[in-house]
Chain A
Amino acid sequence: MDISELLTIAEHERTMRRPTCIRCCTALGCQSAGSLSLKQRLEEAVAEVDRTDIEVIGVGCMGMCGHGPLVRVDPDGVLYEHVHAADAPSIVAALDGGDATAPRGDPQHPFFTLQKRIVLENSGIIDPERIESYIAAGGYQALYCVLHDMTPAEVIDVVTRSGLRGRGGAGYPTGLKWATVAKSHGDRKYVVCNADEGDPGAFMDRSIIESDPHKILEGMAIAAYAVGADQGYVYVRAEYPLAIQRLQRAIAQARRLGLLGAQIFDAGFTFRIDIRVGAGAFVCGEETALMASIEGRRGQPRPRPPYPAESGLWGRPTLINNVETFANIPPIIRNGAEWFAAIGAEHSKGTKVFALTGKIRHTGLIEVPMGVTLRQIVEEMGGGVPEGRVKAVQTGGPSGGCIPAALLDTPVDYESLQRVGSIMGSGGMVVMDDATNMVDVAHFYMEFCKDESCGKCIPCRAGTAQMLHMLNLIRSGQATAADLARLEQLCIMVKETSLCGLGQSAPNPVLSTMKYFREEYEAFVRDEGLAG
């Protein structure tokens, strides 16, 4: 494969396109609402009217998942939502005038217009099951450019200057991580894509893989070239069967075209990617536990240092980045560091993908520039809560915290979220209305953390169990004010002494709800005098 062949594939794909394209979402959310049979009916309907100028393609996520299945008819950009298979003939007929029976969506809604799509640039547009579709969208050109025109050091320099920070949650500077792995010595190096997304309410990584799997592979290959690795792993949880299937297909296609494997683009660069399917333990998203799991051992974290950059898989230097981080790489290479650095907030460059869920009118997947406020996301894009008022927004999953409505003007960037007691996390965003009891919310997350604690270190294993027990006491009205103080004390101890990020952040939902909604805890507390 050389560049002319790549461009030929792209050109061929473009000439094969038909004037009218009916795009039907086949990501998991819409599939579960019946989009596969809908797509089939659309194809049949096109065949019935014998129109060769229309094509039906299955695409990835279009964003507004709560309104699925979604269908968009291009080039006009007509959007249909809640489409049933029975609506298919009328959608095809509507191309000749007339009304479709499916409700029309509004592509001019702030949900779409306030987005800035970099990671999701191909999502909902290309067919994730065909590599040609990705290549036609400019895919693998960044990899070619890197292999032929740039040294590994130059690649790292671009990533560093772009200001990209790890999208897995902690926000570590990506360029710095790459540089560290590149400098580490080892007879082999590895690149790992962390696709073990497990936060309740989060589906960003799943959607990205389902919608644009090749982008992850291209990002990983660029990373591998930059740090000097020849083997990559995508660690993805077994609960994501469609993502796994599309990744497998993508890897096979890329290999067939010589875009993965030996001598990629005849540049003397060899890189192979394998999938490792995890059994779905939350803690396996923690990098040291993830590596243990890839090595075939029990998925438990170990103390750091040594960091994976120095001693990772089988003791060799290993680069671990999240799905979204890798997805940012090809656009950064294509458009340059300055382009990326110009987007977003001062210390948080670029965009962030959020899975917007909970008590909100428009749930789904959005990508916004860093620095937009929570209010813009929740009220404008999400359309606010259907009934009542916004009470809080939970960001960062079990590791994050609940931000009260009064702080909705907080900009979404790493530092600002941390200042209000939450974190960016991988990007789950759960909106709660005023019917939500915050003690219940804390209880929900603590139950999750207790179940997902690996059991290795005592503060997390016994601490989360004890915190859950205390929350149960509070909710059943058996706790006293002294118990509240004890709970808080326990939370701080678990936070400061746990071995890994799971334990260190498990108390956050409790601490943040106690900080902002203390009266709800106190309402449960029984009179000290009665307690004896």
Chain B
Amino acid sequence: MLTILKSGIQTCIQDLGRIGFRHLGVSQSGVLDPLAAKCANILLNNPQNTPVLEITVGLCRFKFEKPTNFAITGADLCAELSGQKLTAGWRYHANAGDILTFATSKTGLRAYFAVQNGFSSLRPIMNSYSTDIQAEFGGLTGTALEDGDLLDYPSHSALSPIGAALPEYTESLRVILGPHLDILPKDNQQSLLEQLWRVLPQSNRMGVRLSNDLDLTHNKSVASQGVSPGTIQLPPNGEPIVLLNDCQTTGGYPIIAQVIDADLRHLSQLSAGQACRFVAVDRAEALHAQIKQSQHLAQLEIAVQHHNKKNS
């Protein structure tokens, strides 16, 4: 068992998301940083879609009731195992009774925590273990984890430590321009891409809300259409919303751009007050970025297998 002694601001069970049900109004959910979650799972020889804990802000404390190996990736939220400092991007062994704590960080927002072979006490809903916090299903009980929650996992003896560097998080988000950008005057279209945007406190897993001094207010509406994580909507108040995994399946605000899949992970780390900018790219570059990420994961998988063989 993993006992959630303190659940923190928001700790929830997520896998790579719920697909195939958007036409019924079911959100995708899933980890905001798939690369970090896949990396944590690869370090533990788990299938890449194994559910992990997504820890937002931190300030949480877990107790291992059985020995196992675990990995932490994503932002460095100053994790410690029974008082010993841990490094993000590494796999570790925990003994029964060990306490894992996450403090917090000024620069990062979300960390990922995975155990070897995953949690065994979960039941998939619509082919996914992801917690849909809005609709209240999935995960353990359909909500973020609460103090006292228990997650079972199989015991494992120690694997040797191994770590992997993930590509850095950046404030620049590559986007493909969207179908309704022309509702804005030409010079505003340009400024949208040149200026820095500040993250507003109302941001959450549904979307990151942005603001700056630029006046992009408008009175255009569009018929509601399919939207997905990465879609950048511009409501009439002129403050863009970058939709994230818990977003609704359709939206009626003009779509000015779409963040490329490979850069969605950067949004997982943007907390209130931080800045980001958009850089327009074409589909060829988006595809290239995606292939680069797949190669990164494939290389990591080979390296971990090699390391395991050498140390077994």
A and B co-occur in one complex: no
Chain B interfacial positions (CB closer than 8 Å to A): none
Chain A interfacial positions (CB closer than 8 Å to B): none
